């Protein structure tokens, strides 16, 4: 893993953008795996700014998102479909038909998404990390070989995500459809961004701990092209 430590969230976003820009410049038809959450928002802002100022085009880019809540209508303000449109897709020239998000509540629907994913080669998979080390919605204990699946969210994730649902855990969906760790590891390159002190333990376990199912992100140690971009607070626990 290549680990880049930045002074703050903005620098983290700019550094992550450099990695993203390099991929899309080398391959304007790149396939991107995208993530939601506050971690990649700054990177998406950089992509939008670059599109507006430099005309970088996404016309031939294809995207696949990692995950989506089960049971929220597509146009719900907190659906990941809405997040992606609001933060990125509505502000660049990507074609709607080239954007993909998983949806549904059954394993058949999850398998169908994995089949689409298997039909392409992802050039760059972007990830955030949960406070408990989850990637996508792969909670601790998820086998590393897992493909797209329906997930029961842990109490810690429901609590963390309640900030988007009026701080009311009863409003947070209890399940999600998520690419698995096995799906994520199929990407050619992986870019993980993390910021803030509440991520420091998960970041340390991911990078310095053993590769174990109790920290899903530690599976990335098994991939040979991973770039981790951190701010100082998220990197604070590292032995370096």
Positions marked catalytic:
67, 132, 134, 139
Q: Which pair of structure tokens corresponds to residue 209?
A: 């701990």
| Phi-psi region at 211: left, alpha or beta (left = phi > 0; alpha = psi -120 to 50) | beta
Question: What is the spatial distance between Cα 15 and Cα 165, in angstroms, rounded to a whole number?
Answer: 30
Q: Tokens at residue 193, please?
A: 């961004």
CB of 186 to ligand GLP, least distance (A): 17
Closer CB to ligand GLP, residue 62 or residue 138? 138
Min dist CB 41 to ligand GLP, Å, is: 8
Which residues from 96-155 bind ligand GLP, rule CB under 6 A?
Answer: 128-130, 136-137
Residues 39-98 that bind ligand GLP (CB under 6 A): 39, 66-67
Q: How far apart are CA 7 and CA 25, in angstroms?
A: 26
Nearest CA to 67 among 81, 50, 51?
A: 81
Residues 6+ apart with CB under 8 A from 168: 162
Residue from 13, 62, 63, 157 touching ligand GLP (CB under 6 A): that is 157
Confirm or reject binding of residue 180 to ligand GLP (CB under 6 A). Answer: no
* # residues contacting ligand GLP (CB under 6 A): 14
For the CA atoms of 140, 143, 146, 151, the dihedral, rounded to the nearest 10 degrees, stands at -30
Residue 161 contacts ligand GLP per CB under 6 A: yes
Contact between 33 and ligand GLP by CB under 6 A: the answer reads: no
Question: What residue ranges bind ligand GLP (CB under 6 A)?
Answer: 35-39, 66-67, 128-130, 136-137, 157, 161
């Amino acid at each position: 893993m290549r680990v880049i430590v930045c002074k703050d969230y903005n620098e983290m976003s700019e550094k992550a953008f450099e990695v993203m820009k390099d991929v899309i410049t080398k391959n304007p038809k790149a396939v991107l795996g995208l993530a939601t959450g506050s971690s990649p928002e700054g990177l998406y802002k950089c992509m939008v700014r670059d599109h507006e100022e430099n005309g970088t085009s996404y016309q031939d880019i294809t995207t696949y998102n990692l995950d989506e809540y089960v049971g929220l209508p597509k146009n719900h303000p907190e659906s990941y479909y809405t997040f992606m449109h609001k933060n990125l897709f509505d502000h660049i020239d990507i074609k709607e038909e080239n954007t993909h998000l998983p949806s549904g509540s059954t394993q058949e629907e999850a398998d169908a998404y994995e089949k689409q994913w298997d039909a392409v080669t992802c050039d760059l998979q972007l990830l955030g990390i949960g406070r408990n080390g989850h990637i996508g919605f792969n909670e601790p204990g998820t086998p590393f070989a897992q493909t797209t699946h329906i997930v029961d969210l842990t109490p810690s994730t429901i609590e963390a995500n309640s900030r988007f649902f009026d701080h009311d855990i009863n409003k947070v969906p209890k399940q999600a459809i998520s690419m698995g760790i096995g799906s994520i590891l199929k990407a050619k390159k992986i870019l993980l961004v993390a910021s803030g002190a509440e991520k420091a333990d998960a970041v340390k376990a991911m990078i310095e701990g053993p590769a174990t199912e109790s920290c899903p992100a530690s599976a990335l140690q098994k991939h040979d092209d991973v770039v981790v971009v951190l701010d100082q607070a998220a990197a604070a626990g590292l032995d370096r």
